[in-house]
Amino acid sequence: MLARLLRPATAVAALAFLGAAQAQMEAPDALVKNVTLEVVAIIQKDIKDGDRRKIIALIEDKVLPHFNFNAMTASAVGRNWDKASPEQRSRLTDEFRTLVVRTYASSLAAYSGQKFDFRPLRAKPTDTDVTVNVRVLQSGAQPVQIDYDMEKRANGWKVWDVRVAGISLVVNYRTEFDNLVREGGVDGLIKALQAKNKSLERPGAAAPAPGVKK
Amino acid sequence: MVLLFAGAAGCATTNGGNDARDPAEGFNRNMHAFNEAFDEAIGKPVATGYRNVVPGPVRTWVRNFFANIADLWIGANNLLQGKPLDAVTDWARFGFNTTLGLFGINDIASEMGIEKHDEDFGQTLGRWGAGDGAYLVWPLLGSSTVRDTIGLVPDFYFDPVPQHRPTGVRWAMIVLRATSKRADLLDASRILEEAALDKYVFQRDAYLQRRRSLIHDGNPPRAGRPQPRAEETIEPAPRASLAAPAVSPHALEAAIRLLEEPAQPHPGSVVGSGG
């Protein structure tokens, strides 16, 4: 009796779960397009004042779930990742995530209505590692190319590197991180990241340069 | 000449500094400090004033005017790099923008879908096979390399602005162009300031990456990443994906392998395969 009652319930639950998984497994190029357009629309409509806190909250809510920060941090830390304990790794990931989100927020705050060109994905349906290409168009200059390196995971496509105008975020931190580990060990790197993040919390530090009108 | 560059890149010793690409790090850091001081005192304030005083549309005209002049030499470089179609595009841009765009102040070619390119003689040398050579920082000019410094000579020679007469107008144009460029970079330089732990290193690595990308027109052959293993794609969705779960050993292994073999071509790579 109970089993008979439960069976349809389980079926419904399973279906709902499948539906959710299906929705999550959006194609990588569609995912980038939808998230970009959604975030930019919210910024233009609701965060006109460039409020840093609101932009960071927006990124945490809409963008971060699609990033694999563990892979990003491991790659940026490079060979020294081996030397780090699990606890150090999680602190490195936290600090690096904070720094990247801040930088990302600054880039979004500087957005002034440029148009996007979402390039069609050049990949086979079976590929699990793709690069999604978006270009930001601007007058009197070459479009700025943004490449998202993405990997298919069980819970959807995840970004593991972003390249802006050919500059890889992960690669660009590698030398800096390497130098800091050589100077002060993994803890030295964690401290440097913490200090950097703290300095950006100072009022005004993350705001537009004084005197610059938006 | 090509061999000479390759030699310069290969023989770089690591005295004092620790980066083979940057044997002149001591000199470069001094130049960088000078440039930073100059920018703090003059560059940034002038550019900020320009941005605050001159209305946006006028700043766009100024940017477009100088960008239009540059398209001629950009086209020549595309021709030298064996891309005649791109060269024709650049000169068509110049034609449309100079006439219909009123002496280039309107970038109507971009609106028509004729995209602007970014080329210079340093890139042409790179396309011909020249390596970067040592990284160099010059006063006021900023980041460069041995190859890009040599490229600056023809770039300067074929730049109509410094040839302009009378000299009064010439200097006004040089200053206006520099101001316009610096103003366009105000946001970017602030973001760089925020992102970098060691600005010198961050800027150097960004410059070298950027040049490599430009030489290959945005599609440099790049270090691939091993395909994720099959079991990785069927692992259960981590529930607390926002709470920094421990990195999977496979991803880690992949990341390390990527670092150890940076030049290994990636069979599944989308970028650079041209397909």
> pTM of the prediction?
0.76
Judged by average pLDDT, the poorest of A36-45, A177-186, B175-184 is A36-45
Asked if B258's CB is within 8 angstroms of A75's CB, the reply is yes
pLDDT at A17: 52
pLDDT tens digits, B172-223: 899 999 999 999 888 888 888 889 999 999 999 999 999 999 999 888 886 5
Q: Answer yes or no: do B51 and A176 touch at CB < 8 A.
A: no
| Chain A residues inside the 8 Å CB shell of B119 | none
Tokens of B211: 């040049």
Lowest model confidence (mean pLDDT) among B52-66, B115-129, B235-249: B235-249
ipTM of this model?
A: 0.79
Chain B interface test: which of A24, A75, A182 (most B C-beta within 10 Å)? A75
Contact B186 A89 (CB under 8 A): no
SS3 assignment, position B134: coil
Q: Specify the CATH number of the domain A2-199.
A: 3.10.450.710
Cβ–Cβ below 8 Å for B244 and A69: yes
CB contact under 8 A, A175 and B245: no
* Model pLDDT, residue A107: 85
Q: Which of B19, B184, B247 sits opposite A74 (nearest CB)?
A: B247
pLDDT at site A9: 57
Of A37-46, A162-171, B245-254, the one with minimum mean pLDDT is B245-254
Q: At residue B239, does pLDDT exceed 60?
A: no
Confidence check: pLDDT of B3 > 90: no
Q: Please report, for chain A, the start and end positions of each structural domain, with discontinuous segments joined by +.
A: 2-199
Q: How far is A167 from chain B (nearest CA, A)?
A: 5
* Chain B hits for A212, Cβ within 8 Å: 48, 51-52, 186
Our CA dihedral for A186, A189, A194, A195, rounded to 10 degrees, sits at: 140
The count of residues in chain B is 275
Q: For B210-221, how does the pLDDT look when each residue is reduced to its tens digit (9 = 90+)? A: 999 999 988 888
